[in-house]
């Protein structure tokens, strides 16, 4: 079978799932129309003023919030930069070192913002990060205050964009926070639609401010997925937009965010990505299986891969998960098509992603708390539009594997089978 045939059969079947399921009462509650692949014409273009070619694939790096939260300091950022290099993560593609909330100080009489005492010299910090071949990210809010109560950018958008540029910032996460109460709820208390228009205008305002500088700055929207941000994010210059509330380092949070992504595939593409939040790999009490599944599925979703762990004290197991080149290659695949959830059976979900050149990635996730050998899962290749046997690579064992229709799979609790199937010859 030729490459295109494999691809089109799979696409055909993903769409035909819709038809089958529409006449099947017990699956009728799913938002079936979302299984349709994105019509090319509706995929938003890379925004016209894109000066940011690196966002052609999902951004990769590290962000301070998930591990350090409000405690982050200049030294932590330098350590993170050092460790990205020393651990091999930089070589694997992790380039952005992002300072999240709590770096902000006060504005002077002219409105110029300073960093606070935890960050004595932002320009020197940016120079340090750049000297390692990495890029620096920063954080602000369209409201008067950030989520942690520090100074936001309201009425200072151009001034702040110029400040970031003067420091050498390469990435901005712009977090709604107090804009909601201080502006939206205050100016249009009973008019939700007007509130949403204000929010969109605020994101567009910072987009214009960033574009008015000469520096390419990745623009990351953080407003928790409200008002179908995936529909308008690209129009306000967003390279990525959060699709959910805050992730936590536990299975419930990760799995519920994963499920919220089903149906959003059509909105992502080169230069504009759905962001199911930063990685918790290596944080909390996640098991190795949970870390693997989290990382694999964020790669399947073409999510930004922003590690959020303590890089100085990373275990070899966590490091090898975060630097699995085969899994990273799925995330960074140049076709930029997100995975779709093809089907679920009981506590097992099967996702598939089209890759460039006609290759495919298939992920099987056991979301259950057990998987006894008396209850194997039977993989249906037919439901993926595929015919076995199919040779591929198991991306966690690194070994060749063969998928056959109705094969039995016994996955440990919260573990994943992730297989890349090359294009058929």
Of the candidate spans 143-151, 156-164, 179-187, 190-198, the one that interacts with ligand GLA by CB under 6 A turns out to be 143-151
Which residues on neighbouring strands pair with residue 115, listed in sequence order? 104
- Active site annotation includes 310: no
- Beta-carbon contacts of residue 279 (< 8 Å; ≥ 6 apart): 66, 294, 295, 298, 305, 306, 307, 308, 309, 322
CB 99 within 8 A of CB 136: yes
b/e burial code for range 384-411 (CB count within 10 A of at least 16 → b): bbbeeebebbebbeeeebebebebeeeb
CA distances from 236 to 18, 46, 47, 159, 169 (A): 32, 11, 8, 19, 20
CB of 106 vs ligand GLA, minimal distance in Å: 18
Nearest Cα neighbor of 232 from 198, 188, 261 is: 198
89 near ligand GLA, judged by CB under 6 A: no
Residue span 49-68 as binding mask against ligand GLA, x where in contact by CB under 6 A, dash where not: ----------------x---
| Nearest residue (CB) to ligand GLA, 99 versus 416 | 99
Backbone phi and psi for residue 264, each to the nearest 5 degrees, phi listed first: -100, 0
SS3 category, 128: helix
Catalytic residue among 82, 246, 310, 394: 246
Of the candidate spans 78-86, 114-122, 145-153, 282-290, the one that interacts with ligand GLA by CB under 6 A turns out to be 145-153
CB of 175 vs ligand GLA, minimal distance in Å: 5
How many residues of this chain bind ligand GLA (CB under 6 A)?
9
CA distances from 127 to 73, 136, 170, 289, 405 (A): 16, 9, 12, 38, 55
Of the candidate spans 4-12, 140-148, 266-274, 285-293, the one that interacts with ligand GLA by CB under 6 A turns out to be 140-148
- Residues between 353 and 382 with contacts to ligand GLA, criterion CB under 6 A: none
| Nearest residue (CB) to ligand GLA, 151 versus 175 | 175
CB of 241 vs ligand GLA, minimal distance in Å: 12
CB of 406 vs ligand GLA, minimal distance in Å: 42
275 near ligand GLA, judged by CB under 6 A: no
- Active site annotation includes 82: no
Nearest Cα neighbor of 274 from 231, 323, 311 is: 231
d(CA 240, CA 58): 8
By CB under 6 A, name the one of 184, 209, 222, 262 that touches ligand GLA.
222
End-to-end CA distance of the chain: 7
SS3 category, 4: helix
101 near ligand GLA, judged by CB under 6 A: yes
147 near ligand GLA, judged by CB under 6 A: yes
Which residues on neighbouring strands pair with residue 344, listed in sequence order? 349
Of the candidate spans 72-80, 144-152, 296-304, 386-394, the one that interacts with ligand GLA by CB under 6 A turns out to be 144-152
Residue with tokens 């070899």: 316
Catalytic residue among 175, 275, 331, 415: 175
CB of 277 vs ligand GLA, minimal distance in Å: 7
Asked if residue 153 has a cis previous peptide bond (ω within 30° of 0), the answer is: no
Of the candidate spans 25-33, 90-98, 141-149, 344-352, the one that interacts with ligand GLA by CB under 6 A turns out to be 141-149
Residue span 170-209 as binding mask against ligand GLA, x where in contact by CB under 6 A, dash where not: -----x----------------------------------
DSSP class of residue 151?
B
DSSP class of residue 18?
H
CB of 228 vs ligand GLA, minimal distance in Å: 18
d(CA 97, CA 136): 5
Report residue 298 as tokens: 């964020």
CB of 245 vs ligand GLA, minimal distance in Å: 7
CB of 98 vs ligand GLA, minimal distance in Å: 10
- Residues between 231 and 250 with contacts to ligand GLA, criterion CB under 6 A: 246
162 near ligand GLA, judged by CB under 6 A: no
| Nearest residue (CB) to ligand GLA, 116 versus 380 | 116
- Virtual torsion, Cα 73, 80, 149, 277, nearest 10 deg: -170
DSSP class of residue 145?
B
Which parts of this chain interact with ligand GLA (CB under 6 A)?
65, 100-101, 146-148, 175, 222, 246
Active site residues: 175, 246
């Amino acid at each position: 079978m030729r490459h295109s045939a494999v691809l089109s059969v799979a696409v055909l079947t993903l769409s035909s799932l819709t038809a089958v399921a529409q006449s099947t009462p017990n699956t009728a509650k799913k938002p079936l129309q979302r299984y349709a692949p994105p019509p090319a014409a509706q995929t938003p273009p890379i925004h016209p003023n894109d000066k940011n070619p690196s966002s052609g694939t999902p951004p990769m790096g590290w962000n301070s919030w998930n591990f350090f939260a409000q405690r982050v300091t200049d030294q932590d950022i330098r350590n993170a930069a050092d460790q990205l290099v020393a651990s091999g993560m930089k070589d694997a593609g992790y380039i952005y070192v992002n300072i999240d909330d709590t770096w902000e100080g006060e504005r002077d009489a002219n409105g110029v913002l300073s960093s606070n005492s935890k960050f004595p010299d932002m320009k020197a910090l940016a120079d340090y990060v750049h000297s390692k071949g990495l890029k620096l990210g920063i954080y602000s809010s369209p409201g008067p205050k950030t989520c942690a109560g520090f100074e936001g950018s309201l009425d200072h958008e151009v001034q702040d964009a110029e400040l970031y540029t003067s420091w050498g910032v390469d990435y901005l996460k712009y977090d709604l926070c107090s804009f909601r109460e201080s502006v939206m709820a205050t100016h249009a208390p009973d008019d939700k639609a007007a509130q949403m228009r204000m929010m969109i205008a605020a994101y567009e305002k910072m987009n214009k401010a960033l574009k008015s500088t000469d520096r390419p700055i990745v623009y990351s929207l953080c407003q928790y997925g409200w008002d179908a941000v995936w529909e308008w994010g690209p129009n306000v210059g967003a390279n990525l937009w959060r699709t959910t509330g805050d992730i936590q380092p536990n299975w419930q949070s990760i799995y519920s965010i994963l499920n919220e992504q089903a149906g959003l595939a059509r909105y992502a593409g080169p230069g504009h990505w759905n962001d199911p939040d930063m990685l918790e790999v290596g944080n909390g009490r996640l098991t190795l299986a949970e870390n693997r599944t989290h990382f694999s599925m964020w790669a399947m979703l073409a999510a930004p891969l922003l590690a959020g762990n303590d890089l100085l004290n990373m275990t070899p197991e966590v490091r090898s998960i975060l630097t699995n080149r085969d899994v990273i290659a799925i995330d960074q695949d140049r076709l930029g098509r997100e995975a779709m959830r093809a089907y679920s059976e009981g506590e097992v979900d099967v996702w598939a992603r089209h890759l460039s050149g006609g290759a495919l990635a298939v992920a099987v996730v056991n979301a259950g708390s057990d998987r006894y050998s008396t209850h194997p899962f039977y993989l249906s290749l037919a439901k993926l539009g595929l015919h076995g046997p199919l040779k591929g690579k198991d991306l966690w064992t690194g070994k060749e594997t063969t998928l056959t229709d109705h094969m039995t799979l016994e996955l440990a609790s919260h573990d994943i089978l992730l297989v890349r199937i090359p294009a058929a010859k």
